[in-house]
Amino acid sequence: MRGCGLSLPTMSASRPLLSAGPGLNLVLARWQGRSKIDLELTFPAESVPALAEADVVGPVEVKGQADLAVRDIVVQLLLKLQTREICVRTLEEFEHPLEVPLNILIRKSGSIKEVEWDEDSEDTLHVKVPEDDRELDISEIARQAVELERPHHPIRPGAPLPEGALPEEIPVEKPLDPRWDALRGLSGN
């Protein structure tokens, strides 16, 4: 492994299938001749500037699988990471764990000259890449997926409740209307 341990050891450790720093790259050239590939990589968040921009901190773990056809590659990844958040109750910083799924359909095409992303699909990102492209940088779509998964109103675990608020576990008894007592007496309850 080279550098900061950012490349995934494969059949040949000098040619990884997934690498990080300065981008998060799928190395397309090494996938020929296989139908299914397991992908796994752990790297420091600061080595990919797009993730650092999304306040990702600490190690990032990427696990997934690639299914290969003649011209299509379906990549399913799960990013496990932590983001730096500010608690809306205490205004203290804390690290919030996230799991971010990424599904990408990569279609190789000889008729295009540069990468074309199709963002119409909700669950799977579609991308066309030139036939001779050797790498696909997915750091920007990973950053966008992280931003979409972040909590809107982060609350640090163990943060005190605001003054006057009751915890959710304490049942609140509703006052009974005394007019119902007469009806309950008729039914024997």
3-state class (DSSP) for residue 51: helix
Query: What are the residue boundaries of the structural domains of the chain, listed by start?
Result: 18-163
pTM of the model: 0.72
Averaged pLDDT score across all residues of the chain: 80
Q: Looking at the DSSP assignment, which residues form a beta bridge with residue 73?
A: 68, 106
Residue 21 has pLDDT above 60, yes or no: yes
Sign of the C-alpha dihedral, residues 77, 81, 86, 88? positive
Rounded to an integer, the average pLDDT of 152-177 is 75
Q: Band of the pLDDT at 128, cuts 50, 70, 90?
A: confident
Residue 68 has pLDDT above 90, yes or no: no
Nearest to 4 by CA among 22, 29, 26, 17: 22
CA 136/CA 99 separation, integer angstroms: 22
